[in-house]
Amino acid sequence: MNLTSPSQVKDWCIRNDFHPNRVLGQNFLIDRNALDAILDSALEKSAEGVPVLEIGPGLGVLTEGLLGRGCAVTAIEKDPVLADRLKASLGDPERLTVLKGDALDFIKQGACDGFPMMVSNLPYQAGTRILIELVERVGQGAAPETIVVLLQTEVAERLAAKEGSKTRGLAGVRVQLDYDVTIVRKVAASCFWPRPEIGSTVVRLVRHHRNDGVGEDVRRTFRQLTKQAFEHRRKQLGSIFKGVIVSTARAEELSNEDWLELCYNLQP
C-alpha cells in the first residue's frame, strides 16, 4: 500500500472497518513532500543503524521512511489495531520494534531513554505533554539529542517563541531550557486524512547543552516557578510571588537565563 496515497489509505480503512479515532489524534499524513521534509530535517540521506524513537506511527508512513534511510526504529502505538498490523504491513523488517501502549507510560518507565533521536507525527491531543515528558528526561541524561516532530502550528509556534512574544508559554520555556527550537515548515491540513481543522508545522529541537550543569534542585525550582507564573500570566511576577520576587515583569517577558537566575537566587 502506498501510504501517501489518500485513496489507498481510505480504501484500507474501509476494507478493515477501521475508523480513525479523533480522541487519539489519528490524522494520517498522506503528503510525500511533507514526509520528505520531516525526514530531511532529521536525517542525512542514509542513517544506517541509527536508533530512532517514533511515537504514534499510525499506518506507518513515517516508519517506512525512517527504515528506508537505514534507521533502527522503535515505534510506540497506543491503538491496538494499528500496533498489531504495523510490522507485518511493512514486511516484518528486523530493524523495527513495535511497543503497544501509551507513550507517556513508556516514558515514565524509562523505555524511551537513550535514543539519540526522536522523529514523530505526534498525536494532536497528547503531543505537547509527550514532548515535555520526553525532554525533561534530560535531568536523567536520557533525553534525545535531536527531536523532529509534526505538531499543530499553534503548539509549534509556542515552542519556538522567544521572550517578549505573546505566544510564549510554559511549554516553550521548558523545552528551551535544553533545546534550540527551529520551525522547519508548515504543513497544510489537506496533507492529512482525515483532514484536521487546523494546519501543522514541522519543528526541530536540538540539544544545546548550555545548561548541562544545572542540577536537579534548580530544575525542580524552575518547573515550579514557571508553572505558577504562567498559570497567572497576566499578572506581574511581583504580585504572583509576593515577598519572594520583586519584579514588574510578566512571565512571557523573561528569558530562560532570567528564570535560571531567579531559581539560583532562591536556592537555600
- Looking at residue 24, its pLDDT comes to 72
The CATH 3.40.50.150 domain(s) of the chain lie at 6-207
Which CATH topology does 216-265 take?
Answer: Helicase, Ruva Protein; domain 3 (1.10.8)
The pLDDT assigned to 39 comes to 95
8 A C-beta contact, residue 69 and residue 93: no
At 19 the pLDDT is: 82
> What pLDDT score was predicted for residue 205?
97
Residues of the chain with CATH 1.10.8.100: 216-265
Span 6-207 CATH architecture: 3-Layer(aba) Sandwich (3.40)
What pLDDT sits at residue 45?
A: 62
**What pLDDT does residue 46 have?**
64
pLDDT by residue, tens only, the chain of 268 residues: 888 888 888 888 888 888 888 777 788 999 999 999 999 999 876 678 899 999 999 999 999 999 999 999 999 999 999 999 999 999 999 999 999 999 999 999 999 999 999 999 998 878 999 999 999 999 888 999 999 999 999 999 999 999 999 999 999 999 999 999 999 999 999 999 889 989 999 999 999 999 999 999 999 999 999 999 999 999 999 999 998 888 999 999 999 999 999 999 988 7
Question: Is 63 in contact with 90 (CB distance < 8 Å)?
Answer: yes
